């Protein structure tokens, strides 16, 4: 039993949908199809979800919505016209879009959610209808009927565990079920969406609910690259990766897959495969709980910018009970989230996302640390990039740290911070942002080819 999810670019035009139909029809185990809203056809194009945001903005200021609804409708119409017998579903789509004009705005925290969800909802109806017309019996199912119950957090819903038992009851459905991604229903019956890109999350929830053997996530790349293709020329795609490795890579800037989508399938121990709609024969990247191939110590190298680091040292710090706690309490008082906190016997570095700081807040924060902690040295560094070398295989091999630091030293890159947790899944380096690309390249060519 397979759950299969198609992203917006795979559903952007009838040419793409022809490939989707082929993929669904080529394997009888592909019984649950989760769809995004139509995405971009070209780089300049707009996603239907972004058009719906424009519609929302027009509705807020009471501007006419005629043109924008027409534009959205035409996206579905253009696709539908390539297939026979789509008039009924097109009529329904136009009705669904027009009804958005009558949604209640006042005291409705889910107003935007209801508008956004329409992109996926209409697309699921259309894909089910097209599949049926192509001789593959398929049925649209609403997430409420399927059983996706979520928390009441507009545009940031989380699935509620009880959903899984309800979804399981659909396991033996005769027809293929086409499910709109991106939203569920609160216990009170309101539409509530996941965060942007959240159709991945729906796919993972359905896979966990029906206890699928695999969750296939179809996108427009061959899989997850071992390094950013903007930094490294034609990087390798990763063939197999563990959930823990994937989490580390996703944290440090890899965004092929929605971060939260890993959770339901991870908890249910369901493997996920990322595949390419435009190249379905490529095996893609398999995300598993346990890797079978330990040949490569490192699976990927990622990086992210926009960090600042507060450094403080105090002689005999290690003897002071509650030292770190006091520092963390100050951060909490300023409502600051920290990302990492590597420490030595007498010093501590706190790495945080720079976007949380303003010059005034930074000054006040440092003043408070200086006053309450009385460190011997206190300073803050900005423009930091974090570069992460990821691979559970490093546990089984001596020298990965030495090779990594040597790769950076060869390029004369200064290391402002090194952090390796005892789990040995990753090694993290803090470097100046201007050296990030060079660092990635040097590390990539050390561990790959």
In angstroms, the Cα distances linking 65 to 36, 51, 62, 68, 91 are 23, 11, 8, 5, 18
The stretch near ligand ASP (CB under 6 A) out of 22-30, 196-204, 268-276, 429-437 is 196-204
Residue 264 within binding range of ligand ASP, rule CB under 6 A = no
Residue 180 within binding range of ligand ASP, rule CB under 6 A = no
Contacts of 216 (CB under 8 A, 6+ apart): 2, 3, 4, 5, 30, 272, 273, 275
Residue 154 within binding range of ligand ASP, rule CB under 6 A = no
210 contacts 3 by C-beta, under 8 angstroms: yes
User: How many CB atoms lie under 10 A from the CB of residue 109?
Assistant: 13
Which tokens go with 262?
Answer: 């890993």
Residue 9 within binding range of ligand ASP, rule CB under 6 A = no
The stretch near ligand ASP (CB under 6 A) out of 194-202, 246-254, 296-304, 419-427 is 194-202
In this chain, which of 147, 154, 197, 391 binds ligand ASP, going by CB under 6 A? 197
Contacts of 241 (CB under 8 A, 6+ apart): 224, 249, 285, 286, 287, 288, 291, 299, 300
Q: Which of residues 198-227 bind ligand ASP (CB under 6 A)?
A: 198-200
- 147 versus 198: smaller Cβ distance to ligand ASP: 198
> Which residue is associated with the tokens 């539908």?
80
Residue 38 within binding range of ligand ASP, rule CB under 6 A = no
Shortest distance in whole angstroms from residue 395 CB to ligand ASP: 34
How many residues of this chain bind ligand ASP (CB under 6 A)? 13
DSSP 270: -
Phi, psi of 20 (to 5 degrees): -60, -45
Residue 6 within binding range of ligand ASP, rule CB under 6 A = no
Q: Which of residues 111-130 bind ligand ASP (CB under 6 A)?
A: 119
The stretch near ligand ASP (CB under 6 A) out of 191-199, 216-224, 281-289, 340-348 is 191-199
Shortest distance in whole angstroms from residue 47 CB to ligand ASP: 5
Beta strand 377-390 with 426-432 is antiparallel
Shortest distance in whole angstroms from residue 215 CB to ligand ASP: 14
In this chain, which of 182, 185, 225, 323 binds ligand ASP, going by CB under 6 A? 182
In this chain, which of 180, 181, 223, 375 binds ligand ASP, going by CB under 6 A? 181
Tell me the residue number closest to ligand ASP, measured at CB. 199
Which tokens go with 387?
Answer: 């570069």
In this chain, which of 49, 285, 385, 404 binds ligand ASP, going by CB under 6 A? 49
Beta strand 176-180 with 138-140 is parallel
Nearest to 176 by CA among 216, 221, 124: 124
Q: Which residues of this protein are in contact with ligand ASP, per CB under 6 A?
A: 8, 36-37, 47, 49, 119, 181-182, 196-200
């Amino acid at each position: 039993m397979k759950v299969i999810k198609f992203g917006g670019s795979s559903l952007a035009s009838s040419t793409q949908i022809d490939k989707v139909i082929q993929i669904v029809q080529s394997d009888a185990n592909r019984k649950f199809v989760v769809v995004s809203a139509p995405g971009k056809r070209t780089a300049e194009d707009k996603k239907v979800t972004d058009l719906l945001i424009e519609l929302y903005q027009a509705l807020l200021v009471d501007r006419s919505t005629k043109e924008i609804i027409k534009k959205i409708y035409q996206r579905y119409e253009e696709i539908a016209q390539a297939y026979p017998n789509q008039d009924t579903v097109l009529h329904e789509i136009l009705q669904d879009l027009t009804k958005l004009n009558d949604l209640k705005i006042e005291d409705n925290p889910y107003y935007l959610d209801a508008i956004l969800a329409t992109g996926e909802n209409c697309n699921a109806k259309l894909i089910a209808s097209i599949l049926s017309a192509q001789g593959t019996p398929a049925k649209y199912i609403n997430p409420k009927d399927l059983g996706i119950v979520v928390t009441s957090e507009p545009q940031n819903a989380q699935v509620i565990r009880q959903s899984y038992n309800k979804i399981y009851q659909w396991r033996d459905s005769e027809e293929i079920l086409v499910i709109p991604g991106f939203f569920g229903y609160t216990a009170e019956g309101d539409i509530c969406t996941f965060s942007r890109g959240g159709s991945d999350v729906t796919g993972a929830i359905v896979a966990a609910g029906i206890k699928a053997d695999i969750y296939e996530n179809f996108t427009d790349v061959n899989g997850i690259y071992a390094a950013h293709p903007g930094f490294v020329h034609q990087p390798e795609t990763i063939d197999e990766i563990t959930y823990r490795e994937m989490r580390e890579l996703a944290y440090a800037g890899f965004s092929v897959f929605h971060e939260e989508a890993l959770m339901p399938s991870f908890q249910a121990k369901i493997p996920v495969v990322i595949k390419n709609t435009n190249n379905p024969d490529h095996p893609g990247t398999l995300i598993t709980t346990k890797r079978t191939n330990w040949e490569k110590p490192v699976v990927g190298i990622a990086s992210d910018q926009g960090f600042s680091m507060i450094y403080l040292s105090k002689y005999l710090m290690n003897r002071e009970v509650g030292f770190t706690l006091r520092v963390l309490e100050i951060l909490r008082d300023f409502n600051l989230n920290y990302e990492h906190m590597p420490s030595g016997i007498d010093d501590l570095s706190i790495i945080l996302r720079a976007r949380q700081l303003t010059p005034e807040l930074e000054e006040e924060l440092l003043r408070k640390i200086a006053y309450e902690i009385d460190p011997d040295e206190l300073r803050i560094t900005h423009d930091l990039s974090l570069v992460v070398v990821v691979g559970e295989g490093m546990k089984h091999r001596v020298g990965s740290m030495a090779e990594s630091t040597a790769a950076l030293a060869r390029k004369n890159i200064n290391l402002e911070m090194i952090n390796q947790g005892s789990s040995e899944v990753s090694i993290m380096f803090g470097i100046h942002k201007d050296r990030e690309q060079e660092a990635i390249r040097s590390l990539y060519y050390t561990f790959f080819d």
